Structure 1
Amino acid sequence: MFKRDAIEAKAAPAMDFMGGFLAGQPEWVQALAGLAILALAAAAANFIIKKVILRAAAPFLDQRSDTVDRAAARLANVVPALIVSSGIGLVPYLPAAVITVVENVASALIVVSIAFAIAGGLDYVDERYRRRPESRSRPIKGYIQLLKILLFVGMAILVIAALMEQSPLLLLSGLGAMAAVVMLVFKDTILSLVASVQLTSNDMLRVGDWIEMPDLGADGDVIDIALHTVKVQNWDKTITTIPTHRLISDSFKNWRGMAESGGRRIKRALLVDQNSIRFLSADEVRRFRRFSLLDAYVARKDEELARWNAEHAGAAQDPVNARKLTNIGTFRAYVVGYLHAHPRIAQDMTLMVRQLPPTSAGLPLEIYCFTNTTAWSDYEGIQSDIFDHLMSILPEFGLHLFQQPSGLDVQRLLTEQGADSAIHH
């Protein structure tokens, strides 16, 4: 009753004003005319702000982003809504219920416009931050998303309060009884927030890191870190989306340390046929002196063995008791020298050639070293060149690679047996 009287009292001056122009017209005509004037005023205000004021201010805004323009446009929607909210009560002969509904809807639109404008401002803050170098190691997108969630929850409460003409505090008091439901609904958000804080504070993950999570099918570069998800672009250009909290609950491999070290590890073995391992004859030892990578090694070992054999002359009389060079040891020394002389191998990192325990597939001779680049294509090329050379020069040492017999080997054996049988007959 009191609200209706207030509305009628506010509308009285407008009715008198409209009466001067529409005297004698029906009430519904005067109401439509008032609504038309109100709509024109709101449209004019919207046009002036967006097409005149914002365009004039555009040169002073960030030219590299349209986020600010969108946020300003959303904020500009507040002015037409304010005009409608303030002017609807001035339209004559409108029912009180209609005025109330329009005012409530306009108030709700004002709240929504302000909330979306603030959200746009938060997006711009994140966009500006991502231009800074430290943003790769300390992303804030997760925190921005959390603030936006809180903002939209508050917006929803205020919109409902405006539409229902109730105090927001009354709605908030009702949420206390729904705390368990709210915790259930936002369980993933809470887990993701905790995970984001841990990932960021411990510097466990950055945009651009190469990570591996085989259980989730992720093997590639991190392209986005958000509140709920982390996006990984795999090497086949597919995208794997990982829940943020899984990066805390599950283990993953981060290759950032390798990238920052400047070197990438080569760890591969040659399987040497153990039947080809033997001692070297004196002629073979002299022949290896022509290898520039082995000259110093052979000279040093030759002197060392000659001194030992001279000191143990009695034992050295029988060749079985004398110390000799082996072809596998000499080849191992050659590989070490080759790697030290290689221009693409990092000399300040671990470099060794070692024997692993013998297996039924041969004796593994493992090359363990690091390239001086982390680029994948370069790394594979360097590794392939090294093993191309080692496999090609292996026969020079009387050694052979182990390989399971193939169909060609069986065919060659049968051919040789057939030839021998023909000769005997």
Structure 2
Amino acid sequence: MPADPSRILTARQMLAHLGLTPADLVAHPDSSGRTMPTVAEYVPRVAAAASPGTRRTYGTYWNRMTAELGHLRLDEVTASDIEALMRQVTATARTRRMGRQGRHAGEHVIAAARAVYRRAIADGYLTAADSPAHRVAKPRRLPNPRRALTPGELQDISLVARTSGSDVILDALLLRLHTETACRRGGALALRLVDLDTRHALVRLTEKGGTLRWQPITPILAERLQEHAQARGAVLPTDRLLRYRNGQPISSRRYDHLWRRIGECLPWVAAQGISTHWLRHTTLTWVERHFGYGVARAYAGHTDRRGPATTTYIKADLHAVATALAAMTGEPHPTRRCATALKGAAVAAGLRTFWARGGTTTGRICGQRERPAGSPHSAGRRWLHSKLLCGGPRPGHLLPGYSEELRHQAGGCVSRG
């Protein structure tokens, strides 16, 4: 398309006004010295600015991106180039038992490319509309095959873990810790001696995204964790809590070894690809069924703001999580006992008000609806007891015989570790 003669004339007039010629523009293409980097030049900058978790997740795909598209400038890469790379990575992904035909690998390619171009936009090399990675759709995610384990399945897994292997004490503690707290592997691996509060039966979990939370555990598990750490060489507050028999902190390989061994004894575990994350599904499903979505959300440690606005108003506190734990394990929790004492004080105040009114139920007592005046004292007592003192049916325990099993697993055996 030929240029507009009037615009050419205007440009020449402006150059003449500035005292420049077209040759000056050719000799100095960019007076600031800022040139568009290639993919190979820019990816190391992105990796340097990324968090360790991001580098671990996207590092492989950034290397592939550099190998295939490294010679191109950032503004020369097209959406077709990135989509072709996604197809290539998907086709060459390693086949696993629970694989999805490379769908996750393809999704990570797009996410890694978007991370590169988000950084380029932030650095001022491109605008948001110039990013080719954001014009390529991610593969649609398939439904998650994970589910909650049944109490029988959980018991079989626990039995194998504590009766086989070279360190049954460590394996039993790992399974119980994940079942009680629904924490991720990273949260358990990051536990330090200072993160254990045996007096209040709490552990401080540090999980993905740098989130921190205090999570209730049963008092007996808190005691066993402390004995385990002390017997295996944890002295300083910053020392890792979970350790091998030789005193070294455990790594993620312990989980791989544990589930491989369980899968050899229980073929259905290997066939379904059951892992530690299934314990998280199991616990959170039980909590949601018995205590509702708000408590399950707090139990899981979810702090993101995505989702319905109702989540702002149904936040559960530490006492609610401790109550769910006590119901699940059948073991009382110190935090829950404090909350029960406060509730008992409120009930006692209601009783004093009740008897001050002559044993009748005239007026509102602790928020209950009004009752006809003149009721007999015995009827009033029965009504107040049924409404304020008697709770509903107690939920069934997820871990039947829990305390006895844990005492059998860890009691008297820590010294041998």
TM-score (normalised: structure 2): 0.24
Higher strand share: 1
Higher helix share: 1
Ranked by relative contact order (alpha carbons within 8 Å, sequence separation 6 or more), the top structure is 2
Quick check: which has more Rg, 1 or 2?
A: 1
